[in-house]
C-alpha cells in the first residue's frame, strides 16, 4: 500500500494533524532557523570569525564544482521528483525547498550559471540546516543522488564564513573545552562513575567497575548522555565488559561517541576524531569500542578507523563486540527478562552510513522474547528528525521536530510493538519527545539497555 503523507499526519493520535497541515502553509520555513545563528563571541570559542559575503559564498561554492562528487550530483538530477516525499523534512513542512531536489535547486542555479549575482544566503543557510543529512533520498533516487553530501559541502562553505547555528557552535565548543558535548569535566565524570557503580552494586549485588583513565586493552567511547541521561545504556556496556573480564576503561578526555563535526565541517570532524586517537594511544589500548550513537559511528567508521589503524589500533562498535561474545556463548542471557514485543528502528547513520544493520538485529533476537519489523527498515529507515544538528530544545523548533520525527514513530507504532528500540544518542533524546507529543502507546530504549537487563551476571 502506498502511504500518503496526509494520512500519516492526520492519523496522529494527538489530534493535531489537521491544524498542522493548515499551519504548514503559513509558517516561514525559509527563515525559521535564522534566529538561531551563532553570535560572534561564540564563534571565537571554535576558532572562527564571521567573514565573507554572498560573493565569497559564490566563489567557494563554484570551487566545489571542481569535485567529481558535486559535479555528478548537480549534473545527473533529472527532476523526476521521486525523492520529494521520501524526505521526512518535506513530509513535516510540506515545503518544496525542504525536499531533496528543492534544496539542491537553491544551489544548482549557481552551479549552472556562475555569473549569477543575487544569492539569498539566509535562505541557503536556513534550508541547508533543515536537512538532517540522513541520506534517505539517495536510497530512492534512481541516480543515487545523495543530498546529504551536497548539504555537507554547502555547510563546509557556510561554516568557514561563520554562518552556523548557535546550538552547533555551543556543542563544538564544549568538545574543544573538555572532550564531550555536555561539558562534563573530569571531576563530574568521576562522580557519575561512582554513582553508577553504587547503583550497579545495589542492582546486581556485584562490584562492577567503570575504570576511568586507566591503562587498558579496550577504550570504551560512550555518548556523554549515556553517563547522565541514558544510564541503562551505560550499565549495559559495563555489565558486558565486566562479565567478559576485559581490561577496559573510559577516558575523561574523550567521553563522546557523537561527532558534531559531521554537521559543521570536515575540520571539526577530524579534530574530534583525533582526540580519540590520541587518547587511545596514550592509554595504550588495542581496541576502541564505540558506544551507541548513529552519526558518531558514521564518523568513527569512515574517518577515525583509519587513523587508529595507522597506530595498530582496531575499531569496533559495541554491538559487534557484544554479538561476538554472545555467539561464542561467553555471555549468558535470559530472554524472559525482556518479555514484550520489540521493534528495532535503524538509526540512519548505522543503516546508510555505518554498515551496521545485522548485528543489532541479531543481538535483539537473542535478548528479547519477540521482535517485529516495521514497514520501512534497514536502508529505507526514516530519520528521527533531529539529526544533522537539529536537536535544539527551543520553543519554536520543538513542534517542527515533533512532526519531522513522526514518520519513524508512526511506522514503529503500526507494528503493534510496545517498545521502539533505537541505539542512537540523538534518537534517545528525540523519540520520547515525539512519542509523547503524538500520544502513542510506545516506549523507547537503547539496545544495550536490553542486553543489560537480560544478562545473567
Which window, 79-87, 189-197, 213-221, 322-330, contacts ligand SF4 (CB under 6 A)? 79-87
Which window, 41-49, 73-81, 270-278, 357-365, contacts ligand SF4 (CB under 6 A)? 73-81
Looking only at the bridges linking them, the beta strands covering 443-445 and 419-421 are parallel
Please pick, from the candidates 74, 124, 134, 283, the single residue that binds ligand SF4 as defined by CB under 6 A: 134
Please pick, from the candidates 143, 214, 274, 320, the single residue that binds ligand SF4 as defined by CB under 6 A: 143
Cβ closer to ligand SF4: 140 or 176? 140
Cβ closer to ligand SF4: 151 or 252? 151
State yes or no: residue 89 binds ligand SF4 (CB under 6 A): yes
State yes or no: residue 106 binds ligand SF4 (CB under 6 A): no
State yes or no: residue 141 binds ligand SF4 (CB under 6 A): yes
Please pick, from the candidates 69, 80, 116, 309, the single residue that binds ligand SF4 as defined by CB under 6 A: 80
Spatial separation of the C-alpha atoms in residues 59 and 56, rounded to whole Å: 5
Query: Residue 164 phi/psi, 5° resolution?
Result: -160, 145
Provide the β-strand partners of residue 314: 287
Which window, 137-145, 159-167, 205-213, 224-232, contacts ligand SF4 (CB under 6 A)? 137-145
Please pick, from the candidates 33, 43, 77, 390, the single residue that binds ligand SF4 as defined by CB under 6 A: 77
Which window, 113-121, 130-138, 181-189, 410-418, contacts ligand SF4 (CB under 6 A)? 130-138
Question: Least Å distance between CB 119 and ligand SF4?
Answer: 20
Question: Least Å distance between CB 137 and ligand SF4?
Answer: 3
C-alpha cell at 226: 549515556
Total residues contacting ligand SF4 (rule CB under 6 A)?
26
Query: For the window 379-418, what string marks contact with ligand SF4 as x by the rule CB under 6 A?
Result: ----x-----------------------------------
Cβ closer to ligand SF4: 43 or 77? 77
State yes or no: residue 81 binds ligand SF4 (CB under 6 A): yes
State yes or no: residue 137 binds ligand SF4 (CB under 6 A): yes
Question: Least Å distance between CB 257 and ligand SF4?
Answer: 21
Contact set for ligand SF4, span 19-38 (CB under 6 A)? none
Residues 222 and 257 sit within 8 Å (Cβ to Cβ): yes
State yes or no: residue 153 binds ligand SF4 (CB under 6 A): no
Spatial separation of the C-alpha atoms in residues 70 and 111, rounded to whole Å: 10
Spatial separation of the C-alpha atoms in residues 330 and 7, rounded to whole Å: 47
State yes or no: residue 135 binds ligand SF4 (CB under 6 A): yes
Question: Least Å distance between CB 406 and ligand SF4?
Answer: 14
Please pick, from the candidates 43, 83, 189, 435, the single residue that binds ligand SF4 as defined by CB under 6 A: 83
Please pick, from the candidates 37, 119, 145, 364, the single residue that binds ligand SF4 as defined by CB under 6 A: 145
State yes or no: residue 132 binds ligand SF4 (CB under 6 A): yes
Which window, 135-143, 200-208, 389-397, 420-428, contacts ligand SF4 (CB under 6 A)? 135-143
Question: Least Å distance between CB 193 and ligand SF4?
Answer: 37
State yes or no: residue 87 binds ligand SF4 (CB under 6 A): yes
Map the chain to HEC letters: CCCCHHHHHHCCCCCCHHHHHHHHCCCCHHHCCHHHECCHHHHHHCCCCCCCCHHHHHHHHHHHCCCHHHHHHHHHCCCCCCCHHHCHHHHHHCCHHHCHHHHHHHHHHHHHCCCCCCCCHHHHHHHHCCCCCCCHHHHHCCCCCCHHHHHHHHHHHHHHCCCCEHHHHHHHHHHHHHCCCCCCCHHHHHHHHHHHHHHHHHHHCCCCCCCECCCCCEEEECCHHHHHCCHHHHHHHHHHHHHCCCCEEECCCCCCCCCHHHHCCHHHHHHHHHHHHHHHHHCCCCEEEECCCHHHHHHHHHHHHHHHHHCCCEEEEHHHHHHHHHHCCCCCECHHHHCCEEEECCCHHHHCCCCCCHHHHHHHHHHCCEEECCCCCHHHCCCCCCCCCCCCCCHHHHHHHHHHCHHHHHHHHCCCCCEEECCCHHHHHHHHHHHHHHCCCCEEECHHHHHHHHECC
Footprint on this chain of ligand SF4 (rule: CB under 6 A): 77-83, 87, 89, 100-101, 103, 131-137, 141, 143, 145, 147-148, 151, 383
Amino acid at each position: 500500500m502506498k502511504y500518503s503523507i496526509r494520512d500519516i499526519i492526520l492519523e496522529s493520535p494527538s489530534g493535531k494533524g489537521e491544524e498542522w497541515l493548515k499551519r504548514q502553509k503559513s509558517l516561514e520555513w525559509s527563515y525559521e532557523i535564522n534566529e538561531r545563528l551563532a553570535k560572534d563571541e561564540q564563534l571565537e570559542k571554535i576558532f572562527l570569525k564571521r567573514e565573507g559575503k554572498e560573493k565569497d559564498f559564490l566563489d567557494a561554492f563554484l570551487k566545489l564544482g571542481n569535485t567529481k562528487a558535486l559535479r555528478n550530483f548537480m549534473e545527473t538530477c533529472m527532476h523526476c521528483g521521486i525523492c520529494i516525499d521520501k524526505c521526512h523534512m518535506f513530509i513535516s513542512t510540506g515545503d518544496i525547498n525542504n525536499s531533496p531536489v528543492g534544496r539542491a535547486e537553491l544551489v544548482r542555479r549557481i552551479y549552472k550559471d556562475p555569473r549569477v549575482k543575487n544569492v539569498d544566503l539566509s535562505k541557503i543557510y536556513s534550508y541547508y540546516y533543515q536537512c538532517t543529512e540522513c541520506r534517505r533520498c539517495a536510497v530512492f533516487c534512481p541516480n543515487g543522488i545523495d543530498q546529504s553530501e551536497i548539504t555537507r559541502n554547502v555547510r563546509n562553505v557556510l561554516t568557514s564564513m561563520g554562518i552556523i547555528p548557535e546550538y552547533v557552535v555551543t556543542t563544538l565548543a564544549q568538545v574543544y573545552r573538555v572532550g564531550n558535548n555536555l561539558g562534563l569535566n573530569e571531576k563530574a565524570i568521576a562522580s557519575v562513575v561512582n554513582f553508577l557503580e553504587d547503583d550497579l552494586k545495589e542492582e546486581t549485588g556485584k562490584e562492577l567497575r567503570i575504570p576511568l583513565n586507566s591503562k587498558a586493552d579496550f577504550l570504551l567511547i560512550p555518548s556523554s548522555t549515556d553517563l547522565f541521561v541514558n544510564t541503562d545504556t551505560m550499565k549495559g556496556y559495563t555489565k558486558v565488559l565486566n562479565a567478559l573480564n576485559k581490561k577496559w576503561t573510559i577516558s575523561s578526555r574523550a567521553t563522546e561517541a557523537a561527532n558534531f563535526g559531521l554537521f559543521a565541517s570536515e575540520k571539526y570532524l577530524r579534530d574530534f576524531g583525533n582526540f580519540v586517537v590520541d587518547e587511545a594511544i596514550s592509554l595504550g589500548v588495542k581496541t576502541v569500542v564505540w558506544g551507541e550513537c548513529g552519526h558518531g559511528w558514521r564518523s568513527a567508521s569512515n574517518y577515525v578507523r583509519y587513523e587508529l589503524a595507522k597506530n595498530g589500533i582496531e575499531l569496533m562498535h559495541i554491538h559487534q563486540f557484544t554479538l561476538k561474545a554472545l555467539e561464542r556463548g561467553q555471555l549468558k542471557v535470559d530472554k524472559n527478562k525482556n518479555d514484550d514485543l520489540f521493534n528495532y528502528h535503524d538509526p540512519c547513520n548505522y543503516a546508510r552510513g555505518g554498515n551496521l544493520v545485522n548485528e543489532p538485529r541479531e543481538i535483539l533476537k537473542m535478548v528479547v522474547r519477540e521482535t517485529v519489523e516495521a514497514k520501512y527498515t534497514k536502508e529505507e529507515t526514516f530519520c528521527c528528525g533531529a539529526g544533522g544538528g537539529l536537536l535544539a530544545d527551543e520553543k519554536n523548533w520543538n513542534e517542527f521536530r515533533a512532526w519531522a520525527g513522526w514518520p519513524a514513530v508512526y511506522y514503529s507504532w503500526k507494528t503493534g510493538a510496545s517498545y521502539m528500540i533505537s541505539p542512537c544518542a540523538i534518537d534517545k533524546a528525540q523519540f520520547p519527545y515525539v512519542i509523547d507529543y503524538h500520544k502513542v502507546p510506545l516506549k523507547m530504549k537503547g539496545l544495550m539497555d536490553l542486553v543489560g537487563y537480560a544478562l545473567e551476571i
